[in-house]
Amino acid sequence: MRLDNLLTVLVFCLTTTAHLDQHHSRPHLPRTISHQRAQHATRHRPRRSGLFQDIGVTLSNLFTSRQKSVRRVSPRSIERRAVNANGQCVLKQAGGLEPIPPGQPTSPATGTLTRPTTTGRGGATTRTPAATPTSTSGTYKKQFDSSGSDFFDSWTFFADADPTHGKYLALFNTQPGKMLSQASNLIGFDSSGNALMRVDTTPQVPGNRKSVRIESNQSFNGGLWVMDAVHMPVGCGTWPAWWTHGPNWPAGGEIDILEGVHDNVFNQASLHSPDGCTLPNDFGGTGTMLNGNVCSAALTGNSGCGIKNNDPTSYGAGFNANGGGVYAMLWDTTGISIWFFERQSIPSDLTAEKPQPSKWGLPSARWPASTCDPFVFNKDHTAIFDTTFCGDWAGGAWTAAQNDGSPSCAQKTGIPTCAQYVQTNGSSFSEAYWAVKSVKIYQLSN
């Protein structure tokens, strides 16, 4: 057969078989995790039938075969941070106490409830790529929404030793960990659909008491981070927080949005940064500056620079009695700002998911970009909920007065140490739970 005739037949056959291809769905390609490289998954070719299939196969053997298309499945990197500078993990002894490795700085009581020396709170994390940094113009578009019955699908369950030497045990990781948490009655939902994160209330435990720490699957650079909760953990021995951090603490930065210990009355927001970030005296917020002007973790014994919210409903029992409220953290090119809105004072634009921070008035805490560029000192942040028992801050402040001047937990309980109290008073932690309506993260869309 002449070559031009053969080509004519080939074009006719291929054109005809293309019209007869049957459309069918491709099988679901599961997302995989690899420490070395992304896995590849090939698409299936459409099937041909009858005579045209035979012709197509025969002619494809004569000429170059069509190349299969390939879909790349993006890896989800896993980062693990050492508990201390020597790369040592803090493990539970048979007696239940967690030793501090040689050379690890301790945190004696400071006489105040501002955050003392810690070792950072990083740990194992699974992230998707961070979003692009924001500008200061445009409208906010929601990029992360964790609420309702699938709330916990957006989070990874932490499963490492407590980086702050706390008395909690959180051996719940990824999907199996979610089921273990449910079986232990540590997570669930209330009648209003709020996500619950509880602690173990067994009367006595020989070692650490079970708790939950979760970290968002997605990370972001900049944006508006909004958390609505109706209840937060409170009580002697507790150290709850809603916060964000980046990789390689403190190089990636840490922003503590809602945090405190024991029976504190006022929230303390803090930044923990690499060297170079400072907080000016006229920072532009309504709160009270704590710990001085330096935010560097290395230069402040890891305490960073904090700002106290002077609203008695911003934390603990006052927060819970008032039906909770909303915390919003804005991270843009002007700096980092934190607002707290009581339940009855939540801005309507925030409720409508069309936030306009420029109309909210002064924040309670603010770190201006002029002395601490947020995109230099913070990178690829994830959101975190946790309830630590004791640890560097709450353990060290056991004998210190609350931040409203009321008696210390040592005085209230008559028990000399935080660890002893936590291990022997499970019934005291009935109020040590989170009830969260939603977490939403917005990015500016120009």
Min mean pLDDT across 88-97, 136-145, 247-256 is at 88-97
Residue pair 262/402 in contact (Cβ under 8 Å)? The answer is yes
- Is 353 an annotated catalytic residue? no
For residue 245, is pLDDT > 90? yes
Q: How far apart are CA 310 and CA 267, in angstroms?
A: 8
Q: What is the pLDDT of residue 55?
A: 42
pTM: 0.72
pLDDT in tens, 25-49: 333 322 222 223 233 232 233 333 4
pLDDT at 166: 63
User: What pLDDT, on the 0 to 100 scale, is given for residue 176?
Assistant: 47
Decide if 79 is catalytic: no
pLDDT, residue 324, reads: 98
Q: Is the pLDDT of residue 240 over 80?
A: yes
Mean pLDDT of the chain: 75
Residues 301-355 have pLDDT tens digits of 989 999 999 999 999 999 999 999 999 999 999 999 999 999 999 999 999 999 9
**What pLDDT, in 10s, does the model give residues 398-438?**
999 999 999 999 999 999 999 999 999 999 999 999 999 99
Catalytic residue among 98, 215, 254, 431: 254
pLDDT per position as a tens digit, 58-70: 444 433 333 322 2
Among candidate residues 79, 98, 215, 259, the one labeled active-site is 259
The pLDDT assigned to 181 comes to 63
Give the pLDDT band (50/70/90) at residue 244.
Answer: very high
The residue that leads in pLDDT, 99 or 58, is: 58
Residue 171 confidence class, pLDDT cut points 50, 70, 90? very low
Contact (Cβ atoms closer than 8 angstroms) between residue 85 and residue 372:
no
